[in-house]
Structures are given as C-alpha cells and as structure tokens.
Amino acid sequence: MRLVSIRQKASLIIFIIAVVAAFMVAIGWQSMRISEASLSEFEAQTLPEISTALTLAESVAQLAAAAPYTAGSARPFQLQAESERLNRRIQELRGVADNLNNRDFRQQIAGRLDGFEATLTELVALVREELYIREDSLAQQFAIRQLMQQNLADETVSQQQLLTWLLQLIEAPGEVAQSMAQTFALAQASPQVADIADNLLQAQARLNAIEQRKNYLLISLRAKSEQLSAQVSEFVGTLQRQVSRQRADVAQVVATGQVWLVGIALFLILGLTRLYRSSRRMTRDLEAVTHDMKELSLGQVDSRRPQVKRNDEIGTLADAFEVFRRDAIRRLEVSAELGEQKRLLETIFDNMNDGLSVFSEQGQLIAWNKGYEALFDLSSSQLYRGMPISAVQQLITQRSHKNLNLENQQVEMDEINASRHQRSQSFERHFASGKVIEFRSKPMPEGGFVTLYTDLTERKSVESQLRQAQKMEVLGQLTGGVAHDFNNLLAAIMGNLQMLSDSSPQTDDQRRYVERALAVAEKSSSLVHRLLAFSRRQQLFPEATHIDDLIEGMLDLVEYSVGNHILVSVDLNCPDEHCLIDPSQLENALLNLSLNSAAAMERGGALSFSTKRTTLPESDTAAVRIKVEDSGHGISEEVLARIFEPFFTTKPVGKGSGLGLSMIYGFVKQSGGEIRVTSQQGEWTKVCLFLPILTQPLTPRKLSKWDNLPTLTVPHEALVWLVEDDPSVCQVIAEQLQQLGCIVQTFDQAEQVLNAFAGPFLPDVLVSDVNLAGELNGVALAHQLQEFDTWGGQILLMSGLPRSELRQHYDLRDSDVLLPKPFTINELEKVFQFE
C-alpha cells in the first residue's frame, strides 16, 4: 500500500484553501477597486463641485451682507478700504467660480458675478458722490455761520431765520427741506444766501436721489445673492442625485461581491472543517504517540506501541516507537550507569587518598581534591583557582627534600615543569622526615596537565619488608633443601658410626675416635635442626605454654649465661595468657637473644624481659608480646636489614655460625607469630616476639621425640623391603635392619616395588623414603599398595620433612606411619616391636 505523506495531504489542503482565499481576495479586491474608482470619481467630480458651489454661495451671501456696510461708509478712506475689500472678494469669487467643472454652471455663475460686480461698482460710486456732497454741505455750513455773525445786527428776522434753516438743512436735511422751500418763497434773501440755499437744496435733492438708488442697489444685491443661492442649491441637488445613483451602483457591486464572498466563505468553512477533522485525528494520534514517548522519557519503560493505524509519517513513527523505546531504555540504563559512575567518580575524587591537581596550559591551578591538601599539609585557604604553579610549588616544597626519578637520579623541577605539557612525567619526592610522595603527571589534550600524588611512605616500607621476606623465603627454601640432603648424609654417617661403635674388638683409640665422630655428627644434626627451624620445616612439638611462667623458670639460666656484670629484670603482665608453641624452642630463642645481648654489653648493662597482651602487627589476632631489651651498643641500619639471614654474623670467623636469629625467625613464623627488631646505635636494642594467644586452653602435655615415634609389630626374621634412592643411606638402613634380625631386600624406585609384587614372596613390612628417583614418590607408592586386597603387610615411610609439609605437598594421610630422618639404630629399635 502506497504511503500517503501528511505533508502531501496538508500541502494539498493548504493549496486549495490558499487558492480559494486568493480567489476571495481577488473578488474582494476587484470590488474594492470598483468601489474605490467610483468613490474616486465621486470625490474628483462631485464633492469639489458641491464644495465650490457652496463656497461660492456662501461668499456671495457674505458679500451681499457686507454691501450695507459699504453703503454706510462715512469717510472717504473708509469707503476706499471697503471698496478694495469688495474688489478682492469679487476676484476671489471669480477664482472659486473658475474651479467649477460644469461649464454651463460656471458661465451662469460668471454672468451673475458680472452683474453683482456692476451693482457693487455703482453702489460704491453713489456712496463716493454722497460723501463729496456732504463735504460741500459742511463747507457751506461754515460760510453760513460766518454770515450769521457778520450780519447779525442788520439782518431781518426772516433773513436770520433763513440762515438758521439752512444750517438745520445741512444738519438734518430731511426734516427742514419742505419748510425751507416755503420760507424761500415768503422771504427775500440776499443773493449770497440765495445762492447758498439753492446749492444746498440741489445737494439735498441729489442726496435723496442717491439714497433711493442705494436702497435699490442693496435690494438688488440681496436679490441677486438669493438667485445665486437658489441656482447653487439646484446645482447641488443635481449633484446629490448623481451621488445617489453612484451609491446605488456601488451598492450593487458590493452586493455582488458579498454573494461571492459568502459562497467562498462556505467553501472555506467546508475545507476548514475537513482540515479540522484531519488535524484532530492527526493530533489524537500524535498525542497518543507523544504521551507514550513522554512516559518513556519519564522513565516508564513499560510503555508499549500506541494503537495507531495510519498510512503516513505518524504510522511510521508508531512503527518506529518500539525501536525507539528499546533505544530509550538502553539510554536510560546508560544514563543511570553514567550518573552512578559520575557520583562514584565524584566520591572517589573527594575521598581518594591520593592527591590530585589540574593545571591549565598557562600553568594556573584550576582543580584539586582534599587528598592533595592533606598530603602536603595545606589548608583550603592557601589554595585558590588561578594560582600560579610557582606559588603552589613554593607551598609544597617548604620542607627539605630531594626529587628522584625511577633510577634514583636527581631531577630538576624546571625541566619537569617544561615537559609536563608535552609528555607524561613521573618522579618521587623524598622528604627529610622519611616521607615519600610520587608525582605522576600527564598532559591533557586541551592543554595543561593532570598530576596524581601518591604517598609511598608505607608502600616503600612494605616493599622493603617484602623484599626482605622474599629474600628470607628464598634463603629458607635453599637451606631447607640443603638440610634435607644433609639429613641423608648424616643418616649414613651416624648409622655407620653407631654400627662401628657396636662392633668389637675395639681399641681405646678407636672407641675414642668413634665417640668423637658421633659427637660431631650430633652437632651436625643440631645444625640441621637450626636450618630446618629457619626454613620453618623443623618438627615442632607445640603445647599450651604459660609465657610468664616459662620466662620466670629460665631466669636463673639466663643470669648464669650472661654473667654478673649484666642486670637482668622482668616485667611480666600476662598472668592468664597461654600460647600454643614448642616451649623448648622458645627457651632456646630467649637464651639465644640473651647471649646476643650479653655480647653487645661487654662492660655491663641492663637486660630486661617484659610481656604484654596486644595483637599481632597489622592484624586483629590477640597475641602476647615478649620484649627483650638491652642497653648494648645497638645495631646499625645496614646490619639490621640482614640479621635474620642464615650464616650472617658480625662475630669473627669461628666465633658464631650466624644461625641463632635465623632459627628464632623460623620458629616464630612457624608458630604463627611475628618478630620485630629495633635499635638505636650506641644506646639500645629491642627484640619483640609476637605469639598468638591460645583462645581455647588445652591440657598441658609434655611431648618428646621418643613419644612421637611410631611402632610396628613384626614377626621374627620379618621380610622387609627397603625403598631408598640414596645408595649410602640405603646400605646403612639395610644393615641396621639386618642387625635387628630382619631380612632386607632393597629397591631404589617405586616402580620396581610394584613389579616385584607380582612375585610369589611379599614383604611383611615396606620401609620407603618419601623422595624417590622415579615418577612415583613414597606416599603414592604406599597408597597404591594399601589398595591391594591380597597383601596385608605394614608400611613405614621415612622423611626429613615435617608432617605438615608432607601433608600439603605429598598428600600424606593422618593414618600413614612416618619415621622422621635422621634416626639412630636405637630409635629404629623402638619402632620395630618383634613378636
């Protein structure tokens, strides 16, 4: 099924709506354009005409109203001003009339304005004439007054009255004109007076005519103004009718546009409804997807695919939601892991024992942790961001020190600082106090470098102890191997000497030589035991031992051994503690330490023994500390590092074997304890033995070498098969067994014994060494023979190694019978009990 894109759907709907809207806009625009054109035409033609006509009518009315003011002018200058103002207004009216678009109306208005202007011109002329006549009358008044003063006495009453009436005629011409005419008819006036009177009467008559004409002209002006206003009104009415017709046309266009707009609006409503439904469905589906994705973003990882069935991008989004959900779950898991790692790194950064500092490319301090402050004994106020490296190094180098590389060569800090930005650097700073700090710097890709500071003081001490322990372990393995081989030699030597001492006849010298050789062999056996003690392979006989009682019991021996010039004292503080140890070995160890102390105090001194309940070093195991302290000349650091090495001694050649402290070291280690030796050269030496306390007391039981020997019940003339790969040892043991009355057959490999078991004669006892030359050892041979149901003989194993080591390396069982080597014929006689 073809995928229909939401974008295509939306684009199509939007395109249709846009086309309809554009069509609608075009119709509206066309309607508005027509309306605008009509209105523009109306404004361009009608409104200016109406405004001009109305302005013209108003101006003519104002001009007609101003005419009486002009007619009533009392001074020539006033008349002149009014005349000029009227002329300007007439010109303005002509300018207004010229702006009319209607030519006929403009010509009619121009004719009326010409008549109006002529009437006003005539009116101004009459008013000017009237003013001139009045000025002449005023001159006559002055002449009449002079005549009245000059001829006052001679004049007759009628003459005098005539002059008075002439003055009244000048002042109030309308009231005395008629009576003065009658008076002139009755009286006889002088020629001068008569002339004045005639002029005044003519002037009065002219003034009356002018007044009448003025009134006529004013009435004419009002009539012409009204006619002009009527004509303007008719013209405006015509224009209004045109406006009405124009409005009707515009209304029709607008109505047509409205019909189209309503139709288009209905179409748009249908399109928008369709778009709304599509958008609503799309929004609902999007909301479903968004809701599930929001829940997923909030950690609701159990979200499932929304129920959306669409053939568009939303459907594709819904299809991809499951993939997104799995990816989001993985991202959440990764974010959680990263957050946990961030918190872990922050915790490590704040709580790590090592110091850490970060410097920028410009050599400024930008970050450090609390371990850095603690390592160099700095306070937080002494460091700040942006601190130069020179100032920081000045703070951490206030104490005496030296900088060494891994080859213990001196390094220069200037060279280190210069190369830290390019490559990794590592060196150690050794302080005079013994503190050692390792510097490990690594450049950062963005510039600058990071330095990690590690306190190696304890590590260096542990490494030194480890090297010492490894050296002691190697020496122990070496001495253990030598002792084992030496045991075989001593077994052959002592066996032959004992057989020689039992043979007869012997001279006195031969007997003395044999006894001397046996004594040396016994000392050699003691030396072997010391070697085995150092290698922790000697046979111990541990028992519950009260340490304080043991020390008190051997004080007399110690005082006798060290001499009267040394003061021996004790401080015992463990009255209830017992340790599971071999007491004889502890006595030998304490006696050996006493003799060493006495050798260090040739001119006398003090030797003290003290006990205290404590714990093993670097452990929580309860222990008894036995401290042996002397006031001798002490031990140097070089010697102190080698005191436990076998055969190492500071005594002259022949004065010491160098096995005393090594034997003590092996005994303590084999007993599960620790030994610490400290000394101040020229002042004192302290040796501390730490032995574990026995938590469950055992019943004290004194064991001896004889009590630990096994026993075998054998018949007389028993057949013994002896398996030994050392010919000399094999020959000695065979002769000793024969001397005891046994029939002996020897083998040097376990494989020969297995082959011999196919024969008719089987042994009563099988005596085998553990270490054999073939592929099978003696323990494996014994275990194979024990599985033979047809043979009921006994098996005796021999070895110079302790049972614990045989159990660990050779799978020795507790039921296996073991005879320690070397042994004498007397001890062998104790083992074989004949019926």
At 774 the pLDDT is: 82
Average pLDDT estimate for 703-727: 79
At 561 the pLDDT is: 79
Average pLDDT estimate for 521-537: 54
At 101 the pLDDT is: 72
Q: Are residues 437 and 547 in the same domain?
A: no
How does residue 216 score in pLDDT terms, banded at 50, 70 and 90?
A: confident
Per-range mean pLDDT, top range of 96-105, 155-164, 513-522, 770-779: 770-779
The answer to the question of residue 515 being in a domain is no
Match 């490894």 to its residue by tokens.
Answer: 470
Cα 220 to chain centroid distance, Å, stands at: 106
User: For 537-583, how does the pLDDT look when each residue is reduced to its tens digit (9 = 90+)?
Assistant: 455 667 888 999 999 888 887 887 788 889 999 999 999 899 988 88
User: For 423-449, how does the pLDDT look when each residue is reduced to its tens digit (9 = 90+)?
Assistant: 888 888 888 777 888 888 899 888 889
Q: Are residues 168 and 250 in the same domain?
A: yes
At 162 the pLDDT is: 65
Largest CA distance in the chain: 240
pLDDT at 158 > cutoff 70: no
Q: Are residues 662 and 723 in the same domain?
A: no
At 508 the pLDDT is: 67
Checking DSSP bridges between strand 364-368 and strand 712-714, what pairing results, if any?
Answer: unpaired
Average pLDDT estimate for 119-143: 75
The answer to the question of residue 242 being in a domain is yes
> Long-range contact list for 406-413, CB < 8 A, 24+ apart?
none
User: For 463-491, how does the pLDDT look when each residue is reduced to its tens digit (9 = 90+)?
Assistant: 665 665 555 555 555 555 565 566 666 66
**Domain of 829: which CATH number?**
3.40.50.2300
Domain boundary among the residues 215, 231, 263 is at 263
Query: Percent of the chain beyond pLDDT 90?
Result: 11
Average pLDDT estimate for 674-689: 90
Phi, psi of 6 (to 5 degrees): -60, -35
And the tokens for 8?
A: 């295509």
Q: Nearest CA to 596 among 640, 645, 556, 630?
A: 630
Which carries the bigger pLDDT value, residue 724 or residue 514? 724
Question: Structurally, how many domains does the chain consist of?
Answer: 4
And the tokens for 793?
A: 């003989």
Domain that holds residue 601: 540-692
Q: Are residues 642 and 557 in the same domain?
A: yes
Q: Are residues 769 and 628 in the same domain?
A: no
Average pLDDT estimate for 242-250: 73
Give the number of C-alpha atoms closer than 13 A to the C-alpha of residue 25, restricted to the C-beta side: 6
At 468 the pLDDT is: 54
Map residue 496 onto helix, strand or coil: helix
At 821 the pLDDT is: 79
The answer to the question of residue 107 being in a domain is yes
Q: Are residues 683 and 829 in the same domain?
A: no
The answer to the question of residue 192 being in a domain is yes
Q: Are residues 575 and 611 in the same domain?
A: yes
Rounded alpha-carbon distances, angstroms, from residue 435 to 412, 453, 487: 19, 13, 48
At 721 the pLDDT is: 92
Helices (H), 503-566: 508-534, 547-553, 555-562
User: For 588-638, how does the pLDDT look when each residue is reduced to its tens digit (9 = 90+)?
Assistant: 888 888 888 888 888 889 999 999 999 998 888 999 999 999 998 888 877
At 768 the pLDDT is: 94
Q: Which amino acid is at 339?
A: G
Q: Are residues 412 and 362 in the same domain?
A: yes
pLDDT at 403 > cutoff 50: yes
Q: What residues are paired with 93 via a beta bridge? A: none
Q: Are residues 679 and 742 in the same domain?
A: no
One-character DSSP codes across 678-718: EEETTTEEEEEEEEE--SS--------TTTT---EEE-TT-
At 610 the pLDDT is: 94
Checking DSSP bridges between strand 449-455 and strand 355-359, what pairing results, if any?
Answer: antiparallel
Q: Are residues 668 and 812 in the same domain?
A: no
Average pLDDT estimate for 193-201: 71
Map residue 568 onto helix, strand or coil: strand
The answer to the question of residue 98 being in a domain is yes
pLDDT at 698 > cutoff 70: no
pLDDT at 155 > cutoff 50: no
Report DSSP state, residue 2.
P
Contact partners, residue 233, CB within 8 Å, separation at least 6: 57
pLDDT at 6 > cutoff 90: no
**Contact by Cβ (8 Å): 747, 766:** no
pLDDT at 388 > cutoff 60: yes
The answer to the question of residue 510 being in a domain is no
Q: Are residues 674 and 728 in the same domain?
A: no
Q: Are residues 224 and 88 in the same domain?
A: yes
Phi, psi of 698 (to 5 degrees): -105, 160
Match 């001829």 to its residue by tokens.
Answer: 151
At 609 the pLDDT is: 95
| Burial class (CB within 10 angstroms; exposed 0-12, middle 13-18, buried 19+) of 341 | exposed
The answer to the question of residue 364 being in a domain is yes
User: For 277-296, how does the pLDDT look when each residue is reduced to its tens digit (9 = 90+)?
Assistant: 777 777 777 777 777 767 76
Q: ∠ at Cα 356 (355, 359), nearest 5°?
A: 140
**Contact by Cβ (8 Å): 63, 292:** no
The answer to the question of residue 379 being in a domain is yes
Average pLDDT estimate for 202-224: 78
User: For 590-601, how does the pLDDT look when each residue is reduced to its tens digit (9 = 90+)?
Assistant: 888 888 888 888
pTM higher than the cut 0.85? no
Q: Nearest CA to 187 among 205, 166, 210, 170?
A: 166
